[in-house]
Structure 1
Amino acid sequence: MRATSLPLACALLLTPLACKPSADESVAPETAEAPAPEAAPVSPEGNWLGSLALPNNTGLDWILSVQPPEDAPEGPAIAQLWIPQQAVTGVSLGEPVPVPDQPGSYTVSWPQVNATWTLVPGEGPSCTFTQNGQALDCEVAAMSDEAFTEATALRRPQNPEGTPPYVVEELRFENPDAPGVTLAGTLTIPEGPGPHPAVVLLSGSGLQDRDETIFSHKPFWILADHLTRNGVAVLRYDDRGFGESTGDPKLASMEDFASDGWAAVSTLAARPEIDPKRIGLIGHSEGGVTGPLIAATHPKKIAFLVLLAGSGVRGDALLEAQAKLIFASQGMPAAKIEEQVAQSRAVHEVILATAGEDQATLEAKLRELLREQFSALPEGERPTDIDAAIDTQLEVLASPWYVHFIRWDPTKSLEKIKVPVLALNGELDLQVPPDQNIPAIEAALEHNRKLEVVRFPGLNHLFQPAETGAISEYAQIETTIAPEVLETITTWLTKVAKLDKPSKG
């Protein structure tokens, strides 16, 4: 991190004012009294550690680094944001913008979530924060380069190093069922003549790159490396509209993302190095829902399924259980949790009740409900612009993906699955709780004698060794995937995909 080029107290940013001399500097006597010059506005450049007071009586820590980019050290400073508790790492917020008529104040904004910080640097720095028109109490302090490096440094010892002992091929393939969608991915192929068994990796919810990167963890890269060293070809790809893949994800439902996964399977099946009769799917989180959907739609083309924290209940039920556990892990009082869950449940009831109706009807009913909910909030929590807040909420709540997710019952696909299935969950998973989802998966696959279920004590949603399973722990844990999970998958694949005895790696 580049050090500040001028002392903060003397940095000249808005006006060409000289530094005001400090009290211990000698100053020549004036022959006539004159007004003392105002201090120059202080630059926002540096590292800043702050905290927001959330309505649920908990705090949310954030870090801002305002520095010129390393590749343009003489250029303007750019703000980058870290929020460890919310898996936000190094999000670029652009250049700080001086506030008109408020010398020394600067704003940085995150348009995607309608959030704005106003930072007033100096010896006693201060800040304000608003999101969707709602203000939250904000505190900030300067942070040394050393403290910043320690707080944001992320060791990832499982990331592969060196030249791998297998073929790595970057490729692009089209989804013939979705014009304009071209998916970019990485195919890793074991040594030897083949044809090899293969898997497609299916990512969780939210736009993900081919490595399913989160907090600098790259679980799909590590999984692909492990499997390929043990004789399984692996295709992983950037989600539609993310990374190097094209297409508009805002228009896509879960079924559309499943069709992208099927395009990946078809791409593998056409390769001479791949055995088309031994192609399976490994899906994490939502990928554990799209995987069965693909297998149920193409039952003779998928040889096996691995569900990594896959859900077995409808989306509304999953999100309700998830919210209760996550809010509790953040210290939210029980009464507030029930209030938040009740509001979400009301939204989901509208989505469920409007199945079969057009988009305009859904949006109109959601808008009416959200207006009631926002208007009922206490004055300090109510957005100043309710219409803008509603529009922001509707971008998610009325999106094809969210609506399909809330209405979709995974058991519809699972009940049709006849191929071998391995279902894995961490006992500390707060996002796909095992006590809710494993029994549902087992019930849906009651007919399938080739089901194997493993629950790992002490592992979270990412299959990391954790203390509580809270999302805030993800970044601090150095392990990306517990080795016992990797070995469990490989040992199981040895049986169902007829691999040779797995080697170490």
Structure 2
Amino acid sequence: MRSLRVLTLILLIIAVLDRAPRPRRHAGEDALAGDWTGTLEIPGQPLPLGISLDGDSGSLTVPVQSLFEHPLAEVVVSPEKVAFTIPGLPGAPTFAGRYDPSDAVITGTFTQAGHELPLTLRRGTVPVPPRPQEPAEPRPYRSEEVTYPSGDITIAGTLTLPPAPGTYPAVVLLNGSGKNDRNEEVFGHKPFLLLADTLTRTGYAVLRTDKRGVGGTGGVLADADYDDLAGDVVAGLEFLRSRPDIDAQRVGLFGHSEGGYLGPLVASRPENRIAFVIMMAGPAASGRAVLLAQNRAIMAVREASGDEIATQLGFVEKLTTLLLDGDPERARQFVLEHNAALPPEQRQPESTMDRIVNTNFAAFVGYDPAAALRALRIPVLAFFGSKDLQVPLEQNAPLARTLLAENPDADVHVFDGLNHLMQPATTGSPTEYGQIQVTVAPEVLEYVVDWLTRRVPPAE
């Protein structure tokens, strides 16, 4: 067995993009609240990290391992004792220490899988790799915080519009899987903020929203199936078409990853009157098939052995079979038993199991986009990265071409060397995402703008 890498980024099978940003902590009455930073002195691999504390909650950031604002648990904060656990990481990592007011430092011991390392935390934030594409204020367009109903919940988001009064075509951005906010913030990047900025500067109105249970949006994502999520998209369409500054006949959908499932699903229903669909790394295969291919590709890049890959794929096949059979209780028990059989350093907290066995994940596993893609007779752009390991190119691009073959205005495009986020990549592994400075490769932004302006010209 390979030696444990301290604070290895865990790749849960549900989705690497499940990274809801946590609220920034601010110092208040608690003298220890706020941001702290230190370095784990691992031989040959010093590991800078940041801890944010606020009473009985907090978060962990480890930029070099693409871990950002990961929630802490069992947080104890007092001058006599500072302690927390880090759920969701292998080896059950913990910290225990105390605050020294004379030096204004927290000193203690970081423990993971039986290994102990001293850790000293000082006031400050851990350096994060630069994100040069992130749009800076002031921005040359209008921006509104908006809310609207979707069934019995409220959706919250941001609508950006060109600066001059007018009636504009609109783009609705559809998040990938997991608890994503309106910027689809992940690993320190904000791809939806960049996409909205690019398209709004071009002359389009752009709506981007928090997913269920994230930010200002109500509901519980784990309890939502694809009818619920498609309903949220339709609610956004109704909201836009109710406004005099939106051209109701020229509203389209731009979906990333799982959003590439929802875009065609909504657009395939004629009553929704969608003008175009753009799929950025949107799967063309079923959720179960994508999950298996994703696990195989990621483990191969991580140089797992053939036996390790076979074991993992066997686990995914059994789990997804139980979910497809509509037996969530057996699926949950199977996951718990599988977890208990792992070496202690690889086990996950039981709370993690709820992220695997739920209605939302079952909906993903059981969805096949073939019928929706075949039904589309509107302009469609589906693009992929050649180094995407989450929606592998070899599985999805050829199938997309086949399913869209009867559409006279469908473009399936491949960007060489780009990963699932459309960043220039070395291996395509999700562990690289946070280290790459580029948020979305410029050639992708240029291609999307050119394709869209030729089919749905912005208002003059």
Q: Give CA-to-partner distance per residue, 1:301-344, whole Å, 9 cap, x none.
A: 10000000000111111011111121222332232121111111
Contact kept in structure 2, 1:168 and 1:186, CA below 8 Å: yes
Alignment correspondent of 2:322:
350
- Which residue number corresponds to residue 388 of structure 2? 429
Is the contact between residue 90 and residue 346 of structure 2 (CA under 8 Å) also seen in structure 1? no
Q: Residues 368, 162 of structure 1: CA spacing in aligned structure 2 closer, same or farther, 3 A cutoff?
A: closer
* Mapped pair 1:138 → 2:138: no
CA 1:98/1:436 → structure 2, altered by over 3 Å: closer, same or farther? Answer: same
Give me the TM-score of the superposition, normalised by structure 2.
0.81
- How many Å apart are 1:194 and its aligned residue? 2.8
Instruction: Look up the SS of the partner of 1:452 in the other structure.
Output: strand
Q: 1:91 is matched with which residue?
A: 70
Matches within 5 A, 1:39-438: 47-49=38-40, 64-66=49-51, 80-84=59-63, 87-93=66-72, 96-97=75-76, 107-110=83-86, 116-119=92-95, 126-129=109-112, 136-142=113-119, 152-175=127-150, 178-179=151-152, 181-298=153-270, 301-352=273-324, 354-355=325-326, 362-370=327-335, 373-374=338-339, 377=341, 380=344, 389=350, 392-393=352-353, 395-438=354-397
> Aligned partners of 2:240, 2:88: CA distance in 1, in Å?
35
Paired with 1:114 and 1:470, the residues of 2 have a C-alpha distance of 19
Q: Displacement, 1:120? A: 5.3
Distance 1:220 1:208 in 2: 10
Question: Which runs of 5 or more residues in structure 2 are unaligned?
Answer: 1-31, 99-105
The answer as to whether partners of 2:177 and 2:258 remain within 8 angstroms in 1 is yes
* 1:66–1:80 CA contact under 8 A, matched in 2: yes
8 A Cα contact 2:166 2:245, kept in partner = yes
**Higher CA-based Rg:** 1
Take 2:246 and 2:183, find their aligned partners in 1: how far apart are those partners? 21
CA spacing shift, 1:121–1:381, aligned 2, 3 Å: closer
Partner amino acid, structure 2, of 1:190:
P
Give the secondary-structure state (helix, strand or coil) at the position aligned to 1:432: coil
Paired residues, number = 419
- What residue number does 2:29 align with? none
The runs of at least 4 consecutive aligned structure 1 residues that moved more than 6 Å come to: 59-62, 112-115, 122-125, 143-146
Q: Deviations over 1:271-313 (max 9, x none)?
A: 1111111110000000000001111124551000000000011
Q: Residues 371 and 245 of structure 1: is their aligned pair in 2 closer, same or farther, counting only changes over 3 Å?
A: closer
Deviations 1:446-497 (A, max 9, x none): 1101101111111111111111111111111111111111111110111110
CA distance, structure 2, for counterparts of residue 127 and residue 331 of structure 1: 28
Structure 1 runs not aligned, ≥5 long: 1-12, 14-44, 52-58, 70-75, 130-135, 356-361
**Whole-Å Cα distance in 2 between the matches of residues 193 and 463 of structure 1?**
33
Structure 1 contact 49–141 (Cα < 8 Å) conserved: yes
- Residues 61, 83 of structure 1: 8 Å contact kept: no
TM-aligned CA deviation for residue 89 of structure 1? 1.1
State the distance in 2 between where 1:467 and 1:444 align: 30
Q: 1:118 to 1:112 in 2, by over 3 A?
A: closer
Checking the alignment, whether the CA contact within 8 Å between 1:158 and 1:222 is kept in structure 2 is yes
- Secondary structure of 1:343's partner? helix
C-alpha contact (below 8 Å) 1:60/1:85 kept by paired residues: no
CA contact (8 A) 2:81 2:96 kept: yes
Identity among equivalent positions (%) equals 36
The higher relative CO (CA closer than 8 Å, separation ≥ 6) is in 2
Residues 1:493 and 2:452 are matched in the alignment: yes
Alpha-carbon distance change, 478 to 371 in structure 1, aligned in 2, over 3 angstroms? closer
| Contact 2:180–2:214 (CA under 8 A) maintained in structure 1 | yes
Question: CA 1:87–1:183 in structure 2 vs 1: closer, same or farther (change >3 Å)?
Answer: farther
Residue in 2 aligned with 1:28? none
1:363 CA displacement:
3.0
Q: Distance in 1 between matches of 2:357 and 2:436?
A: 35
The answer to whether the 8 Å contact 1:126/1:140 transfers is yes
Question: Letter of the aligned partner of 1:434 in structure 2?
Answer: L
Cα distance, 1:275–1:472 mapped onto 2, change above 3 Å: same
Letter in 1 for 2:450: T
